Amino acid sequence: MESIFYTLQDHMTFTKGTIYVLMVLILAGFVAYWTFLSGREEEEPGTSTHHHEG
Report how many domains make up the chain: 1
Question: Is residue 2 one of the residues assigned to a domain?
Answer: no
Could you tell me if residue 49 is inside a domain?
no
pTM, full prediction: 0.60
Q: Kindly report, residue by residue over 22-39, the tens digit of the pLDDT.
A: 999 999 999 999 999 998
Residue 53 lies in a domain: no
CA 18/CA 16 separation, integer angstroms: 5
Instruction: Tell me if 13 sits within 8 A of 19, measured CB to CB.
Output: no
Specify the DSSP element, H or E, that contains 29.
helix 8-39
What single-letter amino acid sits at 22? Answer: L
**What pLDDT, on a 0 to 100 scale, did the predictor assign at position 40?**
73
Q: How confident is the model at residue 43 (pLDDT cuts 50, 70, 90)?
A: low
Rounded distance between C-alpha atoms, residue 27 and residue 32, angstroms: 9
3 domain-assigned: no
Q: Quick check: 14 and 3 in contact, CB under 8 A? A: yes
Q: Give CA–CA dist 12/7, Å, rounded.
A: 9
The boundaries of the domain holding residue 29 are 8-37
